[in-house]
C-alpha cells in the first residue's frame, strides 16, 4: 500500500464532524461581523511569498513547497493566506467592489516543518483580513472577532496576548537599542539568534532555546520605544478591548514570525493542546499592500490553525455523525423490490433511510441497522407484501407493530420529527 505523505493526514468520519462544526461556527461568526468569504488558489507565484511573507522569515527560507512547473514558472503551494488575499484585493480592486473590504477564507496551507502533534506539513487555516482602515477600532474589532470565534467554539483555558511592534519610524530605533543592550552577550546566544541579530533583531524574541532565555528576558521591550503615533494607537486598541470586556495580557515577546507586521500583534494560546499551543495569530500590516504593488492601504488580520482549534474543542462538543431515521429490511426477492420503493419514498420525504444492499440474511440486515444506530426498522416479507403492510421494529425497546404500507412514510416522518421538536 502507498501511505500518505509525512506531515499530512486524512480527516476521517468521526473527526470530520468536529471540523465541520469549526467551519460552520467560524462562518456564522464572521458573517455576523460583516466579513465576506473569498477563495483563492492554492498555488501562487513563489515571489508573492518571497516578497509578501518576507525573505528573512523561516517560512520563506526553510518551509516553502516551491517548484518549477512544466512551463518553467516558479510556483509555490501557499504557506499562508495573507499575501494571497492581498493579491486578490489588489487584482480585483476589492476596495471599489465591496462596501467595506472585510474578507475571510478557509483552506489548506503547506509548510515543510518537522511534523509533531499540532504541527503538520499540510495544515488548515481560517483567515480574516480587513483593508484600508487605520483607526484602532478595527484592531479591536478583529481581536474581538478572534476572541468571539474561540468562545463560540466553546474553547476554554485560552489566553489572549497582544503587543505592538511599532512602525518603520520607531522599529529601527528599537532594533538598534536591542542590539546595543545585547552587546557582547550576542555571542552566548544560539546560531539562529546570532543570525537574527543582524538580519531582523526583533525575531530574537521568537527563540525557544532554553539557555538563551535568561539573556532574552533582560532585553528591552518594543512598547517602551514606540513613536507617538504607535503609542497612541496601542493605547486606543487597549481601551477598546477593555470597553468590550476582552481579557488580554501584554506580551513583550510577541513579535510574530513574519516581516510585515506593524503596530498591533496578537496571539491566542490554548492551555491543553500540547507544545504547539498557538491556536491563532495575527496583526496589522500597514506596508504590505503597497509592497505587493497595490495602493498605499493598511491592513490587519489573523489566521487560526484548524487542527489546533479541533484539538482544543471540548470533548462533549463532539458532534454526532448523521444517523438514519429508518432502516428498511427485506426478506425475499419480491420484498426486496418493494423495499427499494419504500426506501425511495422515505428519502423523497426528506428522511435519512438506509438499506442492506446485497440481500444478506435478515440477521445480518438487523445487525447492519444496529451498527448504523437506526432507531426504527421497517421489515418487508412475503406476508407483509400480501397484506399491504410493513412490520415495524422499535430498536430501543425491541417492540414490534404492524402498519399499513400506505401509512409507512408518514409514520416514520412523525417519529423522526418528535425528538427534534423536543429540542429548545
Ligand atoms: P508556530 O509558532 O506554531 O509555528 P506560526 O507563527 O508559524 O505558528 P502563523 O504563521 O501565525 O503560525 O499561522 C497562524 C496559525 O496557523 C498558528 O497559530 C497555528 O495555529 C497554525 N499553524 C501554523 N503552522 C502550522 C503547522 N505547521 N501545522 C498546524 N498548524 C499550524
Ligand atoms: Mg511556524
Query: Per-residue pLDDT averaged across 94-113, rounded?
Result: 96
Distance 346 CA to ligand 1 centre (A): 46
Query: Per-residue pLDDT averaged across 144-169, rounded?
Result: 96
Q: How far apart are CA 89 and CA 295, in angstroms?
A: 10
Specify the higher pLDDT residue, 260 or 404: 404
Distance 71 CA to ligand 2 centre (A): 31
pLDDT in tens, 232-281: 999 999 999 999 999 999 999 998 877 789 999 999 999 888 888 999 99
Choose which residue among 255, 281, 310 to substitute to test ligand 1 binding: the one with the highest number of ligand atoms within 8 A of its C-beta. 281
In the chain, pLDDT over 70 holds for what percent of residues? 98
In the chain, pLDDT over 90 holds for what percent of residues? 88
Whether residue 420 has pLDDT greater than 60: no
Task: Name, in order, each residue with C-beta under 8 angstroms of 158's C-beta and a sequence gap of 6 or more.
Answer: 150, 268, 269, 270, 271, 279, 312
Distance 208 CA to ligand 2 centre (A): 12
Q: Residue 418 has what pLDDT?
A: 58
Alpha helices in 92-212 (DSSP H): 94-97, 136-152, 171-182, 191-199
Whether residue 106 has pLDDT greater than 90: yes
Q: Residue 422 has what pLDDT?
A: 43
Which listed ligand is nearest to 276 at the C-alpha? 1
CA 150 to chain centre: 11
Query: Per-residue pLDDT averaged across 347-372, rounded?
Result: 94
Which listed ligand is nearest to 120 at the C-alpha? 1
Query: Per-residue pLDDT averaged across 397-413, rounded?
Result: 96
Phi, psi of 11 (to 5 degrees): -100, 105
Give the ligand 1 atom nearest the CA of 258: 10
Query: Per-residue pLDDT averaged across 124-138, rounded?
Result: 98
pLDDT in tens, 37-46: 999 999 999 9
Whether residue 423 has pLDDT greater than 60: no
Indicate the pLDDT class of residue 221, thresholds 50, 70 and 90.
very high
Q: Residue 318 has what pLDDT?
A: 63
Residue-averaged pLDDT of the chain: 94
Pairing type for strands 249-250 and 262-270 reads unpaired
Distance 337 CA to ligand 2 centre (A): 58
Q: Radius of gyration (Cα) for the chain, nearest Å?
A: 28
- Phi-psi category of residue 293: left, alpha or beta, with phi > 0 → left and psi -120 to 50 → alpha: left
pLDDT in tens, 46-59: 999 999 999 888 89
Q: Residue 271 has what pLDDT?
A: 86
Q: Residue 421 has what pLDDT?
A: 42
Query: Per-residue pLDDT averaged across 105-117, rounded?
Result: 97
Query: Per-residue pLDDT averaged across 3-32, rounded?
Result: 96
Which listed ligand is nearest to 282 at the C-alpha? 1
CA 186 to chain centre: 38
Q: Nearest Cα to 391, choosing from 359, 400, 399, 382?
A: 400
Residues whose beta carbon lies within 6 Å of some atom of ligand 1: 80, 111, 113, 118-120, 123, 125, 257, 276, 278-281, 303-305, 307-308
Question: Does residue 151 contact residue 246 with C-beta atoms inside 8 Å?
Answer: no
Pairing type for strands 278-284 and 353-355 reads unpaired
Distance 305 CA to ligand 2 centre (A): 11
pLDDT in tens, 365-395: 999 999 999 999 999 999 999 999 999 999 9
pLDDT in tens, 289-339: 999 999 999 999 999 999 999 999 998 776 777 899 999 999 999 999 999
Work out whether the CA dihedral 41, 42, 43, 45 comes out positive or negative. Answer: positive
Which protein residue's CA is at the shortest distance from atom 18 of ligand 1? Answer: 280
Give the ligand 1 atom nearest the CA of 308: 20
Cell for 68? 518549477
Amino acid at each position: 500500500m502507498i501511505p500518505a505523505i509525512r506531515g499530512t493526514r486524512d480527516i476521517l468520519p468521526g473527526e470530520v464532524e468536529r471540523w465541520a462544526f469549526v467551519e460552520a461556527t467560524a462562518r456564522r461568526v464572521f458573517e455576523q461581523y460583516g466579513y465576506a468569504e473569498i477563495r483563492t488558489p492554492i498555488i501562487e507565484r513563489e515571489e508573492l511569498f518571497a516578497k509578501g511573507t518576507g525573505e528573512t522569515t523561516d517560512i520563506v527560507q526553510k518551509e516553502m513547497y516551491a517548484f518549477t512547473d512544466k512551463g518553467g514558472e516558479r510556483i509555490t503551494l501557499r504557506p499562508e493566506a495573507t499575501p494571497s488575499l492581498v493579491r486578490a484585493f489588489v487584482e480585483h480592486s476589492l476596495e471599489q467592489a465591496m462596501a467595506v473590504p472585510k474578507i475571510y477564507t478557509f483552506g489548506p496551507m503547506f509548510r515543510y516543518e518537522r511534523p509533531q502533534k499540532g504541527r503538520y506539513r499540510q495544515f488548515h487555516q481560517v483567515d480574516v483580513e480587513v483593508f484600508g482602515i487605520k483607526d484602532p477600532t478595527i484592531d479591536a474589532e478583529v481581536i474581538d472577532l478572534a476572541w468571539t470565534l474561540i468562545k463560540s467554539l466553546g474553547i476554554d483555558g485560552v489566553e489572549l496576548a497582544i503587543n505592538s511592534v511599532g512602525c518603520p519610524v520607531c522599529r529601527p530605533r528599537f532594533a538598534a537599542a536591542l542590539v546595543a543592550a545585547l552587546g557582547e552577550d550576542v555571542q552566548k546566544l544560539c546560531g539562529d539568534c546570532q543570525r537574527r541579530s543582524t538580519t531582523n533583531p526583533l525575531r530574537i524574541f521568537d527563540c525557544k532555546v532554553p539557555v538563551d532565555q535568561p539573556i532574552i528576558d533582560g532585553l528591552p521591550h518594543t512598547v517602551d520605544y514606540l513613536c507617538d503615533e504607535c503609542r497612541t494607537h496601542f493605547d486606543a486598541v487597549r481601551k477598546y478591548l477593555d470597553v468590550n470586556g476582552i481579557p488580554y495580557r501584554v506580551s513583550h515577546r510577541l513579535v510574530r514570525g513574519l516581516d510585515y507586521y506593524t503596530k498591533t500583534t496578537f496571539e491566542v494560546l490554548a492551555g491543553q493542546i500540547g507544545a504547539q499551543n498557538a491556536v491563532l495569530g495575527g496583526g496589522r500590516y500597514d506596508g504590505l499592500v503597497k509592497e505587493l504593488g497595490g495602493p498605499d492601504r493598511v491592513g490587519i488580520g489573523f489566521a487560526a490553525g484548524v487542527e489546533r482549534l479541533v484539538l482544543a474543542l471540548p470533548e462533549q462538543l463532539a458532534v454526532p455523525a448523521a444517523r438514519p431515521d429508518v432502516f428498511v429490511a427485506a426478506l425475499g426477492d419480491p420484498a426486496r423490490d418493494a423495499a427499494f420503493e419504500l426506501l425511495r419514498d422515505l428519502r423523497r420525504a426528506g428522511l435519512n433511510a438506509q438499506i442492506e444492499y446485497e440481500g444478506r440474511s435478515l440477521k445480518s440486515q438487523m445487525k447492519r441497522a444496529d451498527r448504523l444506530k437506526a432507531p426504527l426498522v421497517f421489515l418487508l416479507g412475503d406476508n407483509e407484501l400480501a397484506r399491504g403492510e410493513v412490520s415495524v421494529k422499535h430498536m430501543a425497546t425491541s417492540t414490534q407493530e404492524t402498519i399499513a404500507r400506505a401509512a409507512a412514510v408518514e409514520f416514520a416522518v412523525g417519529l423522526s420529527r418528535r425528538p427534534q421538536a423536543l429540542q429548545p
